[in-house]
Amino acid sequence: MLEKHALFRDFRAFELPDGEIRSLYLHWSAGPYDQTSSAYHFVVGYERGQLFARQTHDVRENMRSLSEDLPYAAHTRGRNSYAIGVSALSMLDATPQNFGPAPLTDELVDALCAMCAFLARRYHIIIDAEHVMTHAEAAIIDSYFGLLPEERWDLARLRPVPVPITASEAKASGEALRARIRSYL
To the nearest whole angstrom, how small is the minimum distance from the Cβ of residue 62 to Zn ion? 15
Secondary structure element (H or E) that encloses residue 137, with its range: helix 135-141
Q: How far apart are CA 78 and CA 97, in angstroms?
A: 29
In this complex, which beta carbon is closest to Zn ion, that of residue 21 or of residue 39?
Answer: 39
Hey, which residues does 133 pair with through a beta bridge? 25
Q: Is residue 154 at the binding interface for Zn ion, with CB under 5 A as the rule?
A: yes
Interstrand relation of 50-55 and 42-47 (parallel, antiparallel or unpaired): antiparallel
- In one-letter notation, the amino acid at residue 108 is L
Among 5, 7, 27, 178, binds Zn ion (CB under 5 A): 27
Q: Is residue 135 at the binding interface for Zn ion, with CB under 5 A as the rule?
A: yes
Q: Is residue 41 at the binding interface for Zn ion, with CB under 5 A as the rule?
A: no
Check: CB of residue 38 under 8 Å from CB of residue 26. no
- Picking from 152, 149, 155, the residue whose alpha carbon sits closest to that of residue 172 is 155
| Helix, strand, coil in percent for the chain, rounding step 5 | 30, 15, 55
To the nearest whole angstrom, how small is the minimum distance from the Cβ of residue 40 to Zn ion? 8
In this complex, which beta carbon is closest to Zn ion, that of residue 135 or of residue 178?
Answer: 135
Question: How many degrees, rounded to 5, is the angle at CA 4 between CA 18 and CA 36?
Answer: 60
DSSP string, 147-158: SSTT-B-TTS-S
Q: Is residue 137 at the binding interface for Zn ion, with CB under 5 A as the rule?
A: no
To the nearest whole angstrom, how small is the minimum distance from the Cβ of residue 80 to Zn ion? 12
In this complex, which beta carbon is closest to Zn ion, that of residue 59 or of residue 138?
Answer: 138
To the nearest whole angstrom, how small is the minimum distance from the Cβ of residue 32 to Zn ion? 16
Stretch that binds Zn ion, among 7-15, 26-34, 142-150, 167-175 (CB under 5 A): 26-34
To the nearest whole angstrom, how small is the minimum distance from the Cβ of residue 135 to Zn ion? 3
Stretch that binds Zn ion, among 66-74, 88-96, 127-135, 155-163 (CB under 5 A): 127-135
In this complex, which beta carbon is closest to Zn ion, that of residue 117 or of residue 133?
Answer: 133
Q: How far apart are CA 170 and CA 178, in angstroms?
A: 12
**Which spans of this chain sit near Zn ion (rule: CB under 5 A)?**
27, 135, 154
